[in-house]
Amino acid sequence: MNAKKQHTALRAGLLVFGSSLIILLCLISGQQLLNPFTLDQETLNTLLALRLPRVIVAFLMGGALGASGAVLQGIFRSPLADPYILGISSGAALLVASGLLFGINLFSLTIPALSFAGAVATGGLVVLLGRGWHGLQPERLLLAGIGVGFFLSATLMLLMTIASNDGLKQAFLWMSGDLSMVDFGAVPFGLFFILIGLALAFYHHKGLNALTLGDEVAYSLGFNPVSERLWLFMAASLMTAAAVSMGGVVGFIGLVVPHIVRRHIGSDAKTVLPLSVVSGGTLLCLADTLGRTVAAPLELPSGVVAAFIGAPYFIFLLQRKQNR
Amino acid sequence: MNIYTARIILLVFTFLFAGSGFAIAAGSPPQRIVSLAPVITEMLYSLGLGDQVVGVTSACDRPAEAARKTRIGSMPNPSLEAVLALKPDIVVMSREGNPKKAAERLQALGKKIYVFQPADLAGLPAAIREMGQALGAASKADEMAREMENAMQEAVSAASANQSAARKTLFIIWPKPLIVAGSGTIIDQAMELNGMSNMAAKAKGSYPRYSAETIIRQQPELIIIGAAHDEAMGRQVQSLLQQLKMLEAVKKGQVCYLGDGLYRPGARVVEGLKELKKCGETY
């Protein structure tokens, strides 16, 4: 047992080390490769005012989505659950866009609060629609999520088409997770939401492990499946809302990351949650860096690059499920 | 380095660079200009500032020399890094098409920006003069503005000399999908100057989607087709006109082909106004 623990710790350490290297690489690469050892003022300005906020926001967003995916896959006992596929991200984005359109103003809380409300409402709706005769059914849940997600993105498109507001016209880029204009402005609230969500998920990590084994087992282990699921769902919604409020809708990170972590390191929620944050953050940083590098000076939205990585993986998972 | 240290350093740099930006504003005309829109690029060249342009967008196709300048990304999503790397004295952008966020970020980075924002066709000459003054090309801008005012005046006097009622006109921007010029656009205002009544003015939006059915029901007396020099578009126009062949206007050949002068609110609007006036007189 001790040897296994050591093994896990070693792998986790390697992951964190590798991620740090990748993030450093993301910071210096872009349209031009910046040499951190021969800094002039212009380079430093680019590094601190443009690259640093992008890398930080991408890491926080990716981390939040990764952890939120890990939680959702556990509580819905479906390997295909993810805030994007379940429509939660679209719900958050739609409520933010409508709020901006109708001039709702809660000061600096406007975007994060609307985003959270949208995430919770959509999640609730999807769960309601995903209920069959015998409680939550993974396939039903997935279909409900896809249906609701499509409906919400269509509504968002409609809003954007009829609105003449300059901010909303930008919503298209926002919908595809564009990080090219991010600054530190959205970071404090985003970070706050993510930390609360993560703390909540950690507090209930034993419940999350139990839920993965099935409601009956969870019950016999002394957990109340309903309340555990509710708390964990709130945590996932908080983290998704934070991600959307910082940079818009990015898909597939929440899907891919927990699988990678579980496959290579271990499936205990206590390990999966923090490592999903690290690898999710690193993956989105990498996607954003690729987006600003491959077609420079054109910027590909990081959400598009993430989908290029994530969608094939999603198909691979479906295929594997079928073969079983 | 943690976020807070980074933010403090960022703040210090922002002030440092903001300071240098103001210094340039007070002094000599800008020597390194980055343009964030095709209309701006065209205008800069018309103002004789082509040599000072160091960066343009990937959509800047006119004049041909502009295509050889460094690209900084697209108009709706310019790369801030690419702009900074060119070390511009000033970044000239357009209110239409460039994101407000880009202006805010560039200003926060201490870059001097100029936003070209003509309210409408009537306000265009004034906006050109203002831009000329900001960039140290006032006399050239004044010349350009005066030429434009003359073209507008000519259109108005020709229209008022013509006693007949305003003709129901439709301006087709693109045949497939069918996009027409709606209210609030420079094209709409140019049509009004020329005594044409824009059938699409009541449709929602500046560039509404239309259907062949709507055109047939509304019975335009004159159809104008813009950017007709484009070959691929020419073929699509023919198939659209085939669909509309029961219209009196099409039967009588009341179809006029125009360039793209009125598409960008810049120097070539004069050209567009003259062509539109000729359309009204010939057909």
Three-class SS of chain A: CHHHHHHHHHHHHHHHHHHHHHHHHHHHCCCCCCCCCCCCHHHHHHHHHHHHHHHHHHHHHHHHHHHHHHHHHHHCCCCCCCCCCCCHHHHHHHHHHHHHHCCCCECECHHHHHHHHHHHHHHHHHHHHCEECCEECHHHHHHHHHHHHHHHHHHHHHHHHHCCCHHHHCHHHHHCCCCCCCCHHHHHHHHHHHHHHHHHHHHCHHHHHHHHCCHHHHHHCCCCHHHHHHHHHHHHHHHHHHHHHHHCCCCCHHHHHHHHHHHHCCCCHHHHHHHHHHHHHHHHHHHHHHHHHCCCCCCCCHHHHHHHHHHHHHHHHHHHHHHC
Can you give the pLDDT at residue A170? 57
ipTM: 0.70
Question: Is residue B15 predicted with pLDDT exceeding 60?
Answer: no
Residues in chain B whose beta carbon is closer than 8 A to a beta carbon of chain A? 3, 6-7, 9-10, 13-14, 16-17, 58, 71-74, 76-82, 84-85, 87, 99-102, 105, 108-109, 204
Q: Does domain A60-323 have CATH number 1.10.3470.10?
A: yes
What is the percentage of chain B residues whose pLDDT exceeds 90?
A: 14
Can you give the pLDDT at residue A163? 66
Which of A19-23, A107-111, A128-132, B276-280 is most confident? A19-23
> pLDDT tens, A128-157?
888 766 666 767 888 888 899 999 988 887
Chain B residues with CB-CB distance to A297 below 8 A: 58, 71-73, 78-79, 81-82
Residue A272's pLDDT band (cuts 50, 70, 90): very high
Can you give the pLDDT at residue A322? 62
> pLDDT tens, B242-268?
888 888 888 888 888 888 888 888 888
Chain B residues with CB-CB distance to A167 below 8 A: 100
Can you give the pLDDT at residue B76? 83
Can you give the pLDDT at residue B164? 67
Can you give the pLDDT at residue B25? 46
Mean pLDDT of A218-234: 87
Q: Do B81 and A50 touch (CB under 8 A)?
A: yes
Which one is predicted more confidently, B125 or B229?
B125
Can you give the pLDDT at residue B11? 46
Which one is predicted more confidently, A161 or B180?
B180
The domain limits of chain A are: 60-323
